[in-house]
Amino acid sequence: MKLTKLLERVMYTCLCGSVDAEVKDIVNDSRKVSEGSLFLCIRGAVTDGHQYAAEVAARGARVLVVEEAVEVPAGVTVILVQDTRMAMALIAAAYYDYPAEKLKVIGITGTKGKTTTTYMVKSILEAAGYKVGLIGTIETIIGDEVIPSCNTTPESMLIQEYFHRMVEAGCRIAVMEVSSQGLMLHRTAGFLFELGIFTNIEPDHIGPAEHASFEDYLECKSRLFRQCKVGIANADDPHLEQILEGHTCTVESYGFSENADLRAVNAHLVSKPGYLGVAYTLKGLLNFDVEIDIPGKFSVYNSLTALAICRHFKVSEENMKRALKSAHVKGRIEMVKVSDEFTLMIDYAHNAMALESLLSTLKEYHPHRLVCLFGCGGNRSKLRRYEMGEISGKLADLTIITSDNPRYEKPEDIIADIVTGIEKTDGKYVKISDRKEAIAYAIRHGEPGDIIVLAGKGHEDYQEIEGKKHPMDERVLIKEILEEEKKRGME
């Protein structure tokens, strides 16, 4: 492909060489450079791509895109830009022939709710006959292909490649999670979202490696509303005005507020052994009754968001209602049937804020007992352990402290830190370091009306111990435990 084609939407200066150069591929990893590559010099958290200019030129790179002058051999073209991350997004879009323009791309940003909402949207739209691709925290889905995710929002080159593959697979719509980091680092630059959605915002991702302040975090989230045709926002969020500041899109809203364009009224909990849900009535842009098999007020918000989105695709009321009933996300309040007497679920809650939200929601169902099983990751903040222990001690009737991903720490040491937190409360607890044994204990000691939540692992299907990931899926463990219990009962 001609370099001129790749640069057609980029503001640049050619420092040396020719813009008529032929480019074989585009890369930002020096190890992947080959003869004819275009190499983007990206300044990362650990390394600076400009340092590899001479090395990649020697390995065959014919074009370098830079933010500062570099020394290269004669015959290598050097393109100067203001921001190589922005240039990477624009060049990648051109390289894959602007695939986002052949799709309706839906982008969802917010502190919570992104993952569940994307799956709800996919479920509803596919029930209506659309072929939908998905990019998110857990995985990317393109047709029948499922690709595990490393980042909530991948680098721009990978996003454009995924869009290209979605187009080839016959997808008409792409729904994706858009993180604040993704917006800040221009991973979603180079295309216009059909719909941009804001779910909510809370202090999170604040620190040296992420956002300098809550204000910075908020500003990055707000960028989505300057990169979409229609913005759909949570009318109940106190930061809505700041999120909408400088928006360039048409705006719609949803929520419980009377001012919301699409609102939920008469919301109420639905429960029976093995089943927790919520029901409400839609008013405004849509008018019908809704029930979903996922508990809690935040489930009302997630489903409202999905309905506000799918309304734009002329989906029938019947399809919306039926698809919402079957939309479930692996590891996000995932019900696993083990008994007719009590309820067991798996959830990814792995920090204090998420665990508090989850347990507070489940307490609203007035269980006989709320049982919380969790551990904490090794080589991570001890403060998280103390906080999670204290929260579970306050909210759960019984806490089963076990192992998560111990990494290079001893599980017993991590458990001891959690105990430090829980002992600030009057909460009852047991310690069982082996996770399978801990789950077996929870199931064997389940009482009628209990809600048991296995927190922290969620969709993960491994346990990380001393640098190695060992297979461990809680669904598999539960199945093995039930089979062992059945055999024991037959003896």
How does residue 295 score in pLDDT terms, banded at 50, 70 and 90?
A: very high
In terms of domains, do 142 and 282 share one?
yes
In terms of domains, do 416 and 453 share one?
yes
In terms of domains, do 175 and 309 share one?
yes
Instruction: Provide the pairing of β-strand 25-27 with 468-471.
Output: unpaired
In terms of domains, do 178 and 280 share one?
yes
Domain boundary among 95, 119, 151: 95
**For the domain that residue 198 is a member of, what is the CATH number?**
3.40.1190.10
Contact 417, 376 (CB under 8 A): yes
How does residue 212 score in pLDDT terms, banded at 50, 70 and 90?
A: low
Give the predicted TM-score (pTM) of the model: 0.89
Residue 44: the pLDDT is: 84
In terms of domains, do 310 and 369 share one?
no
Domain boundary among 65, 95, 125: 95
Alpha helices (H) in 23-155, listed in sequence order: 53-58, 84-95, 114-127
Contact 285, 312 (CB under 8 A): no
* pLDDT tens-digit readout, 388-421: 999 999 999 999 999 999 999 999 999 999 999 9
b vs e for 30-56, b when ≥16 Cβ sit within 10 Å of the residue's Cβ?
beebeeebbbbbbeeeeeebbebbeeb
Q: What is the CA radius of gyration of the chain?
A: 25
In terms of domains, do 204 and 319 share one?
yes
In terms of domains, do 129 and 263 share one?
yes
In terms of domains, do 28 and 107 share one?
no
* pLDDT tens-digit readout, 62-95: 999 999 999 999 999 999 999 999 999 999 999 9
- Mean pLDDT across the chain: 94
Residue 232 to residue 198: CA distance in whole angstroms: 6
In terms of domains, do 190 and 299 share one?
yes
In terms of domains, do 104 and 157 share one?
yes
* Domain coverage including residue 51: 3-95
**For the domain that residue 338 is a member of, what is the CATH number?**
3.90.190.20
Q: Residue 231 pLDDT more than 90?
A: yes
Residues facing residue 344 across a β-bridge: 452
Domain boundary among 292, 326, 360: 326
User: Within 13 Å and on the Cβ side, how many CA atoms surround 218?
Assistant: 16
In terms of domains, do 378 and 464 share one?
yes
How does residue 467 score in pLDDT terms, banded at 50, 70 and 90?
A: very high
How does residue 430 score in pLDDT terms, banded at 50, 70 and 90?
A: very high
How does residue 213 score in pLDDT terms, banded at 50, 70 and 90?
A: confident
Task: Name the phi and psi angles at 424, rounded to 5.
Answer: -75, -10
Q: Residue 207 pLDDT more than 70?
A: no
Nearest CA among 184, 246, 268 for reference residue 220: 184
Total of domains in the chain: 3
Q: Residue 204 pLDDT more than 90?
A: no
Residue 50 to residue 66: CA distance in whole angstroms: 7
Alpha-carbon dihedral 89, 176, 318, 277, rounded to 10 degrees? -170
b vs e for 198-214, b when ≥16 Cβ sit within 10 Å of the residue's Cβ?
bbbbeebbeeeeebeee
Residue 117: the pLDDT is: 96
